[in-house]
Amino acid sequence: MARLSALAVLIIWISFILVARGSARATLSPFDIAWLRFAFSGLVVLPLAWHFRHTWLPGLASGVDVAAAPRVAWQRALALGLTGGVGYSLLAYSGFFLAPAAHAAVLLPGSLPLWSTLGALLLLGERLTWPRVAGLALILAGGAAVAGASLLEALGGEGTWRGDLLFITASMTWALYGVLCRRWRVGALQATAAVALVALVLVVPVYALAVVAGAMQSRLGHAPLGELAFQAVYQGGLAMLVAGVAFTKVVAHYGPVRTTMFTAIVPPLAALAAVPVLGEPLAASALLGLACVTLGLLVGSGAVDWRRLAPGAAR
């Protein structure tokens, strides 16, 4: 089951980068897309969460004293919802409107092991191994290649660096979500329900009121029905609910660091697919970043022996 969940995560993550970047050329704004994501997923989960309210909510407070369990459960639900739902989605969608898919491939799933490892060190007490250190160094070099090029472009007035910064921050929030799920031993269904419900309560009504009051602009009323339906079902159904459950299952089985290490296939495939699908050429800095990140993920996961990469290593 863990392997099937991992395969689902890989497929959805690759398509997510392409769909989200392609959405930047359509009608909707980043907040519109996030609103559809949260509204659809929340309305799907709400009746199920109510029906199973006596089981899923206590599951968020595993190992906690009975008297404090209700309060802790809601606190954890809020933390998971803000990291894995509201924070990640708003940051990532905004980034896609400013930076190309290749940058997202390197800085979203590509840098995830770096932040997951840092979170696991601080919150889970996990130890670093030399393969992970070598892998993380390569990932850091790949991220620096992409971000550094964006900063140089910023001197000429380009704004790609802002998208890169949003991708990095989104990756941090998703990494924290995965680490918290492991630390609190939250099941896949409980975690996904928490994310969907918190986003439904915090974002959907607030954004709607802000649009009605004129505080924010929305293009929901200008988008074709097909675009609205696709974004709601894909972003809310597949990218949030299906991928959310699958990712949490994989984290529970492999741990947050190993989970993000096996996603080595996501950055290169997403970046390469963006060339024919989105018509986005790969810059030299993006190619260098992809090579470093992919190699780092392979080394960190143990798929490649890092000692054989050293100069003078025995052949």
Please report the pLDDT score of residue 171 as a whole number.
95
Q: What is the pLDDT of residue 155?
A: 59
d(CA 218, CA 132): 44
Question: Terminus-to-terminus CA distance in the chain, angstroms?
Answer: 38
Closest CA to 97 of 27, 171, 196: 27
CA distance 231 to 227: 6
Structure tokens at 71: 């309060």
In order of 136, 184, 258, 291, the CA distances from 251 in angstroms are 19, 12, 8, 25
Please give the backbone phi and psi of residue 94, each rounded to the nearest 5 degrees, phi first. Answer: -65, -35
294 band by pLDDT with thresholds 50, 70 and 90: confident
Within the chain, residue ranges assigned H as helices are 2-23, 30-51, 53-56, 69-81, 88-96, 101-107, 112-119, 130-154, 160-184, 188-202, 204-212, 225-231, 243-254, 256-261, 266-278, 284-301
Q: Which of 315 and 136 is assigned the larger pLDDT? A: 136
Closest C-alpha among 307, 304, 299 to residue 141 = 299
Per-residue pLDDT tens for 36-81?
A: 999 999 999 999 888 887 777 777 877 777 778 888 999 999 999 9
Looking at residues 165-180, what average pLDDT do you find? Answer: 95
How many helices (H) and strands (E) the chain has is answered by 16, 0
DSSP character string of 177-208:
HHHHHHHHT--HHHHHHHHHHHHHHHTHHHHH
Only one residue has tokens 């994310």, namely 195
Q: What does the mean pLDDT of the chain come to?
A: 86
Let me know: does 147 contact 161? Beta carbons within 8 Å: yes
> Which tops the pLDDT comparison, 306 or 269?
269
Q: What is the pTM of this model?
A: 0.87
Q: What is the CA radius of gyration of the chain?
A: 20
From CA 93, how far away is CA 314, in angstroms rounded?
Answer: 46
Three-class SS of residue 267? helix
pLDDT digits (tens, 9 = 90+) for 232-276: 999 999 999 999 889 888 888 887 667 766 666 788 888 889 999
| Predicted local confidence at residue 82, as pLDDT | 96
Question: Of 256, 135, 130, 240, which is closest to residue 186 (Cα–Cα)?
Answer: 256
User: How far apart, in whole angstroms, are the C-alpha atoms of residue 239 and residue 118?
Assistant: 25
DSSP 64: S
